[in-house]
């Protein structure tokens, strides 16, 4: 049964949009990958049009940042999970055992595949309505100018330059996964000191995760120093 929040009538399209490649024999067209590719383009078009029409005073750079903020993995995966799509994903036993059902990359892909399926069945207007409805919180956030809430690399760069006159250096520690499910493990260094690490399905995503981890560690160190200073004052 298709969740009531998903404007799809075709059970076959819904099944295709929620079938991971691991549940097939790698036959082209039997997993959501083609739908996800198509849906990603539809998603980008709808969000770009929305930003273009709603923010006449924004330049290309501002719109690009806002679009990237809305269509990134985090918001898409969150919406997929809130819609309950994780309960419908078809996976191989191995992928299931390693947490594939709640993996953000898979959830985001399924969300985009659903968009592709809606477009195929009902056209652009129905797909646009679904996208704007589901991503309303993210769109409201960027409407206020908060276009890069997850740009941890920029925040880390600013902190590093302001406090230590250093530039963070990102290194790929290792890569894993198959060609269609690649994972990168990145570490960020200040000189020779490792400050953070993180995973991602792309190098950029892994670098953002590593920068976020570094920011968290820096904040923990700052709080620890404040506690020591308060203790010494007492």
Is the Cβ–Cβ distance between 197 and 172 less than 8 Å? Answer: no
- Would you state the structure tokens that stand for residue 1, as one six-digit string? 């049964």
How far apart (Å, rounded) are the C-alpha atoms in residues 19 and 114? 11
Q: 36, 40, 95, 207: which one is catalytic?
A: 40
Give which of 41, 13, 5 is closest to 133, Cα–Cα.
5
Q: Is 233 a catalytic residue?
A: no
Pairing outcome for strands 183-190 and 169-176: antiparallel
Q: Is 193 helix (H, G, I), strand (E, B) or coil?
A: strand
How far apart (Å, rounded) are the C-alpha atoms in residues 111 and 138? 15
Q: Is 59 a catalytic residue?
A: no
Total residue count of the chain as it appears in this document: 234
Q: 36, 73, 95, 112: which one is catalytic?
A: 112
Q: Give the catalytic positions in this structure.
A: 40, 112
């Amino acid at each position: 049964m298709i969740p009531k929040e998903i404007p799809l009538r075709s059970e076959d399209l819904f099944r295709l949009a929620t079938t991971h490649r691991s549940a097939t024999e790698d036959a082209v067209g039997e997993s959501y990958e083609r739908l996800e590719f198509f849906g990603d383009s539809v998603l980008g078009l709808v969000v770009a049009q929305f930003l273009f029409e709603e923010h006449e005073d924004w330049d290309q750079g501002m719109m690009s940042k806002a679009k990237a903020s809305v269509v990134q993995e985090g918001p898409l995966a969150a919406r997929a999970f809130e819609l309950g799509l994780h309960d419908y994903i078809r996976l191989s036993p191995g992928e299931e055992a390693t947490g594939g059902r709640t993996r953000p990359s898979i959830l985001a892909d399924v969300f985009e595949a659903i968009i592709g399926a809606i477009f195929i069945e009902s056209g652009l207007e129905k797909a646009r309505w679904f996208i704007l409805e589901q991503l309303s919180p993210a769109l409201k956030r960027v409407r206020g100018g908060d276009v890069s809430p997850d740009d941890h690399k920029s925040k880390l760069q600013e902190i590093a330059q302001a406090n230590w006159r250093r530039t963070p250096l990102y290194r790929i520690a290792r890569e894993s996964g198959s060609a269609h499910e690649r994972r990168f493990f990145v570490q960020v260094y200040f000189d020779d000191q490792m400050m953070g690490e993180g995973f991602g399905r792309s190098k950029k995503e892994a670098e953002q995760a590593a920068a976020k981890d570094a920011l968290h560690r820096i904040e923990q160190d700052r709080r620890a120093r404040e506690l020591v200073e308060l203790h010494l004052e007492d």
